[in-house]
Amino acid sequence: MKDLALLLSSLDPQASLADRHVWLVKLFEWIRGDKTSVQAALARLQAFIDAVQKQPELQARLQAWWKTLLQTVDITALLADFGFAPRTAFVSELAERLRRKLLPGTPETLDAAELLPLVAPTRFDAQWLGALEAAQVDQLSALLSADRAQGTEHWHHSLMDALTYCTAQIRATGFAPELRLRMSRDSPHARAFHALPADVQALRAVFFQPQRDDAALQAALRQYRERLDACRQAVGSIYAHLEENGISMGMVFRLRQLRARMLRQRELLDALLSARPAMSAFKLLARRVTIAQESKSIGALISANSTLLSAKMAERSAETGEHYITRNRADYREMLGKAMGGGAITGLTTWLKFLVVGIGLSAFWSGFWASVAYAGSFIVIQLLHFTLATKQPAMTAPAMAAKLKNIDADQTTTTLEDFVDEVTHLVRSQVAAVLGNVFMVVPAVLLVNVLIELTLGRPMVSPNEARHVLDSLSLLGPTLLWAALTGVVLFAASMIAGWVENGFVLHHLDSALRHNPRFTAALGNERAARWSVFMREHISGFASNISLGFMLGLIPAFTGFFGIELELRHVTLSTGQLAAAGAALGLDAFQHAAVWWALASIPLIGALNLGVSFYFAFRLALQAHNVSRLDRARIRAAIWARWRRHPLRFFIPG
């Protein structure tokens, strides 16, 4: 209580702006205490109330201090705009949160939105403010203002100003071209944003009439709420457009801000109509403290606004992934053939990689030209309609998860059985693709090695290089760690592919290729149309292959510059390198343990490449489709049951 006495004695309504606010900060610190008990905080607040009530002179000073606070500090932004980005742009909000984290705030401010984070900087403040009972709120209200009616009128005017401000922001965002042009023109609510200011002004006029007409007030409220509902439905029509025409992080951010502002309007309306204004004021204050905590997190900002974009990227991958799932013997044989073609091309890729390394360039340029070789080979595989096994899981996982979108209690058994069928089809597809790649890359590399020996009189790699390959692929080293890292890279490539394809659709680049006068003048109408169709069909594959190729080549070079030197192990490329090393060392090499340790790592590299990339892609797709934890447990149980009953179906078509 000694601290409370010192705090009360320092209360000075004539102090400077900063000192008055610092006193409020210290009062909240004292009430907060050690932040271990809400009841203890409420008890300290009650002690403050009792101490002031016993001293009329102190109560007069407190009321004068409170009146000065209300006259000098603007509460409108705190009520209407607190927690929202000032420029409705994702990057701007990200920069603002970084600024708030790095730079300290000052109590010398007229903005309540800047003062609140200093006064109530913890979630505990929201807890004890939200736990206030009506009796304590009434005591505080009487303590702070001698004229309750005047205080209520000031509160109502502040709320109405906040409503007007928030309405203006909603209208401005609704008129933003990137949203307005995507609203359904057929919807009767398309022009709902136009009349919002008139509705809120009508509500203000009726609410502050000297003799309030309750019927007119209810009519104005009904009109305003119906207009907000119409705006909400107009915004809802944008999502249907995005399903077909792509999405961006900035657009998602604008939509989330707009919908949150509409919820803020409802909150402000409820407070305006509340029969207990003081109680509603404390509830709003507690909510603002919670918002202040939520608005600190950079990770939460990115996560919340990337969910819809991730869902769209997963959906794009799902469309591509369907082509990689085989469901019968004919599809299985076709997959084997495509994978063998991919393995043959990868044999040439292996030679190109060793050729680049043999030139002896610097680390960056060696990685760069290796990236070009990888990306070029992967694109050739794509254009020849062959298959690279490790690229499949990140594409097929979203395709599988998409089948769980409509899972519910009535259809759980049927949906799960169908899904488990897809799992078996997928595993068989992966087995066929890996076998085709691995078994074909070995003879392809050996053939290239023979041709090099015939023309140059030496093998593809020297014996020293061959021994280095064996050491780098040995199961006794960090090979499995690098294989798992490669799985992450494969997943990242699929995400880049989804992002690029989404951007291609979002910005109507296929239409630009087909109709832009510069393109049609250079290519002609028919050729421009063919290029448009070609790029729309292949843009995802190009993005995936190019990004994967450059990550495989440049990640070791870049990380090596910082002394970390992360390496990647791709099962098909690793098998090709092992075959080249074996050809250089001859049959005698099989007498050494190093060859067998390297051979033993190949199936595990393949399993980790496939498993890690599939895990991340499938997890993202489950989140995008909102599959619950309970349903995920059912999925695991159903797959395990199928494995116990029919294990061979996961490898061989039935």
Tokens 């933003």, residue located: 176
Q: Is 22 exposed, middle or buried (0-12, 13-18, 19+ CB in 10 A)?
A: middle
**What's the whole-model pTM score?**
0.65
Residues pairing with 74 in the sheet: 111
- In Å, how far are 125, 572, 586 from 282, measured between CA atoms? 11, 64, 82
Domain boundaries, the chain: 2-296, 309-650
Q: Report the chain's mean pLDDT, rounded to a whole number.
A: 83
Whether residue 500 contacts residue 493, with contact meaning beta carbons closer than 8 Å, is answered with no
Tokens 């961006």, residue located: 248
Q: What is the pLDDT of residue 113?
A: 87
Question: For residues 28-64, b (16+ Cβ closer than 10 Å) or e, as one string?
Answer: bebbbeeeeeeeebbebbbebeebbeeeeeebebbbe
Residues pairing with 111 in the sheet: 74
CA 223 to chain CA centroid, Å, is 37
In one-letter notation, the amino acid at residue 112 is A
C-alpha to C-alpha distance for 307 and 319, rounded to whole angstroms: 19
The pLDDT tens digits of the residues spanning 565-616 come to 899 999 999 999 999 999 998 888 788 899 999 999 999 998 898 888 878 8
CA 5 to chain CA centroid, Å, is 50
Tell me 74's DSSP state: B
Q: What is the pLDDT of residue 410?
A: 45
Tell me 185's DSSP state: T
Q: What is the pLDDT of residue 344?
A: 94
The pLDDT tens digits of the residues spanning 442-491 come to 999 999 999 999 998 888 998 999 999 999 999 999 999 999 999 999 88
Q: Alpha helices of 562-627 — where are they, by DSSP H? A: 571-585, 593-624
C-alpha to C-alpha distance for 148 and 137, rounded to whole angstroms: 13
pLDDT means per 10 residues, the chain with 654 residues, are 81 92 93 90 92 91 92 90 69 73 84 90 91 89 81 88 90 81 69 86 90 88 89 80 63 79 90 88 89 75 58 53 65 86 94 90 91 94 86 56 54 64 76 87 94 90 91 92 92 82 81 90 91 89 91 92 87 93 86 90 91 79 67 78 80 70
Q: What is the pLDDT of residue 605?
A: 93
Domain 309-650 has CATH 1.20.1080.10: yes
Helix pair angle (571-585, 593-624), 10° resolution: 170
Question: For residues 345-368, b (16+ Cβ closer than 10 Å) or e, as one string?
Answer: bbbbbbbbbbebeeeeeeeeebbb
The pair of three-digit structure tokens given for residue 650, joined into one six-digit string: 């996961």
- In Å, how far are 136, 486, 654 from 115, measured between CA atoms? 24, 48, 69
- In Å, how far are 5, 48, 108, 258, 421 from 8, measured between CA atoms? 5, 9, 21, 43, 73
The pLDDT tens digits of the residues spanning 209-239 come to 888 888 999 999 999 998 888 888 888 777 7
Whether residue 653 contacts residue 428, with contact meaning beta carbons closer than 8 Å, is answered with yes
